[in-house]
Structure 1
Amino acid sequence: MDQLLRLPEELLYLWHTHRAEVLLSAGILFAIVRLALHWRSRRTKEILTPPLSPVHVKVSPLLSPKDASTPVPDTKPSPPPKGSKPGPKRVTGSKKTKSRISPKADPAKAQTIRPIIFYFTVGGSTKVYAEKLAESLRSSANRSVLSPHIHDLTDIDYEDFFTTPIRPTPIYSVPFYLLVLPTYNIDTELDTFLSHLQETHHDFRIDTSPLSGLAGYSVFGLGDQQEWPTEQEGFCTQAIEVDKWMARLTGRKRGFPLGLSNTRGNVEEDMWSWGKGVRAVMEDVAIGRGLGEGVRGSGDAVESADEAEDEDDEEESDTRPRKLTTRQNQTSDLEDMKVPIPVDFTTASPNKPTISTQPKPMVPLNSPTHTTLTKQGYTIIGTHSGVKICRWTKSALRGRGSCYKFSFYGIASHLCMEATPSLSCSNKCVFCWRHGTNPVGTTWRWEVDEPGLVFRGMKEGHYRKIGMMRGVPGVRAERFGEAMRIRHCALSLVGEPIFYPHINALLGMLHKEHISSFLVCNAQHPDQLAALGPVTQLYVSIDASNKESLRRIDRPLYRDFWERFQRCMDILRAKRFTHRTVFRLTLVKGFNLEEEAEGYADLVEKALPGFVEVKGVTYCGTSTAAGAGLTMQNVPFYQEVCGFVLALARALERRGLDYGIAAEHAHSCCILLADRGRFFKVPAKPSVSTQALDGKGEVKVVEGEKKWHTLIDYPAFFRCLESGRPFGPEDYVGEPTPEWALWGRGGFDPRDVRVDRKGRPREAVVSGKVEEMGE
């Protein structure tokens, strides 16, 4: 019994003594058994495998799942991949079988294609061709090539489409870009589009081929071959440039050769032939055949951007895709334009012809932009300026009321000239009346007219238009005589006045003749704003309270538009002691009206302007406005504007800002808020009420009562300016704001007669009860 009890202790002692030898032996035994099993299974496979058959059977991706077990015979070694690095390679013993699909095809990547058509037009004909192309593709749409989407280049944000590919609907489809472009000899949105493509390509923060995710692209250009017979002489130049830059941004995914058509020929037949080829390419891509080898510009992108540019230059000079055959028996298209060949100095080859670098006019005399603006009532001055008589000037001449500037600041509309020294703008606002007809740009690259020429042209053009009013029924003789002497100038017609390089010299000429200056800018040019000299009143358009809303409403061309906007707010805060500053808020229902009062209050707190004008957007009723996404449904009612102003006033009060509702002009759907500490004070002279008491025509004098002083003392402004001493907005504050212009009283001049559209007198609109925020 004692021996049995000692047995476990002896076993435990043996384990502790020899456990290393036991574990090592067990491991060696396990390895021997595993190797024996592996050798036995290999011998079995060699016996069962027929001679000359690959050991590793590779299943063709073309086979269906039920045939996946069928091996694909192959006796030839696969060639090394193109561009692969030298070194040991793993041999699989099989290759793809030959089939109807090209060797470069990848059937595993079969996908659904969504054509997306982009076009640009001024006269409207290119839009018609683009819509016909879309209808043709839509009629042949199927499961692999979906119905196309169509976009006007002036209605989109380039970063949403040409910095990264847009995500089409459905999400599993891949976009295929089609661009239908005319060529112009003027600065239009096409120049901005080309600049965006170039900047995107050269931006070190963006991938060399950011649009490589596209299934492909193709460009169709329209031009006048009679005026410009060859491509070197300017035929379809802008379409050719877009094709070149798209090749670089997509990694050379030109799906179909560049199509060029003479607008004096049969454009529809040329586009049908080009569209047929594009449709065939999209169908090939959809089933996995890829772009193919025979399409110029297609294929893999090289790694070096410099090499890609050199190859593109060689391709453009030696292997330019041939233009399609055209007929010469048709009339000229509205898009037929003469155009000099643009040159890109960063990629120009030495063997290319040297092009003149002289700046060209912003609005050439024979351009469609000149024609369109002239039809709209503009007088074009020189190469980049314009003047137009305002509808309120016509109204004031007939005694039918002046605009809101008379109610707020004492400017009689028949004494005011509306002009601009720059027809170009850096925004494409959805509510702009000149949408798509005026030039756009981010840098001044045109001829510059002398300020003297611009000033003389403005006056001559304005007086000529006033003179044309002498025969209009209802024009008052005394006001017509007064109108022949300009007293005020609103630099707010179209474009960006502060963009003009000699804006301070032009302002000096206005002030020298005692013409007040109201300058409007869009908060996108901080350097010019900081350098701006004296101006009677400085407006800044504040169309949104946050970055995304500003992008949707103003559609700025600058990529750093929000940073520029914020810098302008800081500059305005600094200028509030030297300039009479005004925020101009344009309310667009569905864009910036709903729940943005708090955001606007933050901007007011940051810039501290003297005044805040809130105005409902005016719908111009044109197809271009509708194309920009604006309809009558986006025009707010006056009651909605009043509600927004009250909400904004309460938001400012919560921030401790002393602003109050000072005046209104209901007919313009416009309301004015003002800094109470600077413009609500006791008059220098006792105020006299013009309201009759008990119907006896008596007046009463009120002493010591604070009143709003939003009017401007214009003679005092010129005295301050001519003194040469520093001065501020408080030095030329005018008389108290008229009673009829105050908040709650409508703002229509009682000396005039308001009429309806048929000229019949009607009652002036009064907003009703004065709210507690008003005075």
Structure 2
Amino acid sequence: MWEFLEGVFFYCYAFGSSLLVIGLSLLFLVFRSMIYPGESAEAEQSEAAQITTQRKQKKKNIIKIYYGTETGTAQTFAQKLYKDLLAVGPSNDVIQKPLCLSGVEVEHLAELVKRFDAESTNLVYIFLVSTHTDGQPPEKASWFCKSMEEHANDFRVPKTYLQNIKYTVFGLGNSDYGDNYNLVGKQLDQNIHELGAIRLVDLGLGNENTAESIHGSLFSDFDEWKNALIAKLMFYDEPRVSLVNKKRFVISSTTHKLSKVEVAKNGHVPNGVKKVPEEQLVESSSEDEETVVVTHGDQNSNKSAGLVDLEDIGTVMSSARKKILAEKSERANGILREMVTPEMRQILTKQGYKIIGSHSGVKLCRWTKAMLRGRGGCYKHTFYGIQSHQCMEATPSLACANKCTFCWRHNSHPVGTEWKWQMDDAEKIVKEGLANHYKMIKEFQGVPGVTKERIDEGLKARHCALSLVGEPIMYPQINKFIRLLHDEQVSTFLVTNAQFPDAIINLSPVTQLYVSVDASTKDSLKKIDRPLFKDFWERFLASLKALRDKGQRTVYRLTLVKSWNMDELENYAKLVDLGNPDFIEIKGVTYCGTSKANKLTMENVPWHEDVVHFSQQLCNMLKNYELACEHEHSNCILLANTRFKVDGEWHTWIDYAKFHTLVQKFYETGDESSFTASDYMVKTPNWAVYGSTERGFDPDETRWKRKNNTKDISGC
């Protein structure tokens, strides 16, 4: 018994002694660390030195940037990425200027790998490519994309063909194209990956559709992807976490590690040092970790637009995730975005637009300026008797459902197939539209040739050309908008692209309703208009049929593009029979200057004689239509239905006072059949009739010609 108790006592004594020794040792270490804090700092400094050494040994990046573009946006993004990489990239990296994919072969990419040592070099390929009509690549990138697909599907090509390559792809597209959305970027990314290349960052999808873009616009989508790419390139193959005291430090070419002691001495994070919240980091570890970053240089220095500060690079991916969640929340709660993004607003403003609210705009037409100076009016002055200096060019919707190749706005406007943005009230648009128009008129005071009388007349708008840009009929309050203009005694000339037949049916009377007929066959319309709707041809035909039932003046607007649509006379004649318009305007395409959005050149602009010849041939195929007017300056001819020829004289002009009386009666009764086009027509003056010596130029105006004798391409 005593032996058992003696054993228990011995073990308890030994255990207690051990606890005492451990406690004294811990107490000694605590006091020692308080008295000699430098050793902890030395450990951290050693860690920093180790990281710095590893950074110096980082692999060199050989970065090559390629783009495939149709409108020039992908090229612009490639150049922006190049400049930003030069600004923040490591000094030992080699960054190639962006190259078009037109001259690139897949074999070249693979062969280039053999020239570099994979142990010391990262070969990085960056591709920025847009998706064009029918999900096809841009013309100059077509061969490269096709070749890459063939290599990926060829059993004779090993799946390790591009194994030593790092790559990433950014696609430019529009989700309104459905299954074809960013199809080229997706396929290119997949094909490169199947050949063994390593994705540096995930495929970036830029969405031109602002309502569905994850980050609000194509530009913002690009910036987010670009910042993530830069972050990856900056820290590729580098240690991301320091394990000393379980504290993480972000290291970059403009930052250095800040030791715990430096923070302790100051009692706070010193000037120039940014403390990054843990939840904003790309990677996460223990909850008690924090990040301290110190940045050198002027924090207020000018930087490239969209270029993220290096100390903020770590927040990129987290920010993207937050925006995705926010986007889903917005849609669930019915929160809509603005149609015009800040980038788009900047572009349109630079082009001379006055943006109203979030989706409307006005601009001073060149013919308004010309008539203020007494230099003649536009073709509407000749054909229909408007006073060009009293005409406001506007739109309540900058968005359109087409991306026409000859768009004189260079496709800088939004596109969409339905209204999915914030909406401004019609009263606001009319009020601010007139105010902005009058402001631009006043700015012409003092311009040579401008008289006070013309300025005073210009400050009383009498007409509104709803043909500025976009598709005005998309605006949900279009009928209210039109009535407000009519209440101001402003006539309305509304142009639609024939993709919204129901909207045409429900449209209240306008002074004159236009439908753009840019081609006469399904294939040519698709080629020229590049519509977003899959059933664009059916919508087009339905729109023409809807025009037949409108009681007021209706017009087909044909734009002739030499070598594109001038050989389709018979098909055009069939379309005329379908809609039976009052008038047919036939106009040579307006050359808009250089734009990568289309392939048109001066060779595609027909001479006025070509337009006259086409018009005469079309008349020969039609019943009840004749050449009525011409405006040589605008390269435009008017065909009119013979019901507007009374006693041998043309009556294409409009009695605007009579129209306003008739339309107000309609608003009171709601009976659209209460008046027709013949109720407000008046005689066309002799100088405006086809065959006159004036050829459509008002003799009361002063003809002004350029000194050179080149083809007139100014248009209207």
Instruction: Report the TM-score when normalising by structure 1.
Output: 0.59
Deviations 1:622-678 (A, max 9, x none): 3xx2442122222111111111111111122xxxx21000000000000000111x2
Deviations 1:562-598 (A, max 9, x none): 11111111111222xx1211000011122212x1111
Maintained 8 Å contact 1:342/1:355: no
User: Which structure's CA Rg is the greater one?
Assistant: 1
Matched, 1:641 2:611: yes
Maintained 8 Å contact 2:687/2:697: yes
Structure-2 residue corresponding to 1:712: 654
Amino acid at match of 2:599: G
Of 170, 179, 200 in structure 2, the residue corresponding to residue 180 of structure 1 is 170
Of 490, 510, 515 in structure 1, the residue corresponding to residue 490 of structure 2 is 515
Structure-2 residue corresponding to 1:125: 76
Aligned-pair distance for 1:178?
6.9
Please give the alpha-carbon distance, in whole angstroms, between the structure 2 residues aligned to 1:353 and 1:541: 36
Structure-2 residue corresponding to 1:193: 174
Structure-1 residue corresponding to 2:520: 545
- Where does 1:211-222 land on structure 2 (aligned, <5 Å)? 214=191, 216=193, 221=204
Going from structure 1 to structure 2, the CA distance change for 1:261 and 1:545 (only over 3 Å counts) comes to same
The unaligned stretches of length 5 or more in structure 2 are 1-65, 83-96, 113-124, 153-166, 207-212, 238-281, 285-294, 309-318
Aligned-pair distance for 1:260?
4.0
Maintained 8 Å contact 2:399/2:413: yes
Give the percent of matched residue pairs that are identical in Structure 1 and Structure 2: 40
Going from structure 1 to structure 2, the CA distance change for 1:391 and 1:215 (only over 3 Å counts) comes to same
Going from structure 1 to structure 2, the CA distance change for 1:145 and 1:596 (only over 3 Å counts) comes to farther
Maintained 8 Å contact 2:517/2:558: yes
SS at match of 2:584: strand
SS at match of 2:558: strand
Of 396, 403, 416 in structure 2, the residue corresponding to residue 421 of structure 1 is 396
Please give the alpha-carbon distance, in whole angstroms, between the structure 2 residues aligned to 1:168 and 1:333: 31
Going from structure 1 to structure 2, the CA distance change for 1:151 and 1:641 (only over 3 Å counts) comes to farther
SS at match of 1:619: coil
Amino acid at match of 2:531: P
Please give the alpha-carbon distance, in whole angstroms, between the structure 2 residues aligned to 1:584 and 1:150: 41
Structure-2 residue corresponding to 1:754: 703
Maintained 8 Å contact 2:78/2:128: no
Matched, 1:159 2:108: no
- Where does 1:255-654 land on structure 2 (aligned, <5 Å)? 260-262=225-227, 270=233, 332-334=303-305, 357-364=334-341, 367-575=342-550, 578-593=551-566, 595-622=567-594, 625-652=595-622
Going from structure 1 to structure 2, the CA distance change for 1:645 and 1:173 (only over 3 Å counts) comes to same
Please give the alpha-carbon distance, in whole angstroms, between the structure 2 residues aligned to 1:146 and 1:719: 77
Deviations 1:741-773 (A, max 9, x none): 111231000111111236x9x9999xxxxxxxx
Aligned-pair distance for 1:433?
2.0
Of 680, 699, 706 in structure 1, the residue corresponding to residue 645 of structure 2 is 680
Maintained 8 Å contact 1:661/1:672: yes
Maintained 8 Å contact 1:680/1:708: yes
Please give the alpha-carbon distance, in whole angstroms, between the structure 2 residues aligned to 1:353 and 1:737: 55
Maintained 8 Å contact 1:588/1:635: yes
Aligned-pair distance for 1:476?
2.1
Structure-2 residue corresponding to 1:690: none
Amino acid at match of 1:732: D
Please give the alpha-carbon distance, in whole angstroms, between the structure 2 residues aligned to 1:373 and 1:721: 34
SS at match of 2:674: coil
The unaligned stretches of length 5 or more in structure 1 are 1-114, 182-189, 224-232, 243-257, 275-316, 320-326, 683-705, 766-775
Maintained 8 Å contact 1:122/1:436: no
Amino acid at match of 2:663: L
Amino acid at match of 1:386: G
Please give the alpha-carbon distance, in whole angstroms, between the structure 1 residues aligned to 2:331 and 2:628: 61
Aligned-pair distance for 1:127?
4.3
Amino acid at match of 1:361: E
Amino acid at match of 2:696: G
Maintained 8 Å contact 1:222/1:261: no
Amino acid at match of 1:721: V
Please give the alpha-carbon distance, in whole angstroms, between the structure 1 residues aligned to 2:604 and 2:621: 24
Please give the alpha-carbon distance, in whole angstroms, between the structure 2 residues aligned to 1:170 and 1:712: 56
Maintained 8 Å contact 2:382/2:629: yes
Going from structure 1 to structure 2, the CA distance change for 1:642 and 1:239 (only over 3 Å counts) comes to closer
Maintained 8 Å contact 1:645/1:671: yes
SS at match of 2:431: helix
Amino acid at match of 1:638: H
Please give the alpha-carbon distance, in whole angstroms, between the structure 1 residues aligned to 2:533 and 2:109: 37
Aligned-pair distance for 1:443?
1.6
Maintained 8 Å contact 1:125/1:335: no
Maintained 8 Å contact 1:679/1:710: yes
SS at match of 1:174: helix
Of 127, 142, 157 in structure 1, the residue corresponding to residue 107 of structure 2 is 142
Aligned-pair distance for 1:179?
3.9
Please give the alpha-carbon distance, in whole angstroms, between the structure 2 residues aligned to 1:403 and 1:353: 45
Matched, 1:743 2:708: no
Maintained 8 Å contact 1:120/1:127: no
Structure-1 residue corresponding to 2:93: none
Maintained 8 Å contact 2:224/2:320: no
Please give the alpha-carbon distance, in whole angstroms, between the structure 1 residues aligned to 2:364 and 2:581: 29
Aligned-pair distance for 1:332?
3.9
Please give the alpha-carbon distance, in whole angstroms, between the structure 2 residues aligned to 1:534 and 1:197: 34
Please give the alpha-carbon distance, in whole angstroms, between the structure 2 residues aligned to 1:764 and 1:135: 33
Aligned-pair distance for 1:273?
9.0
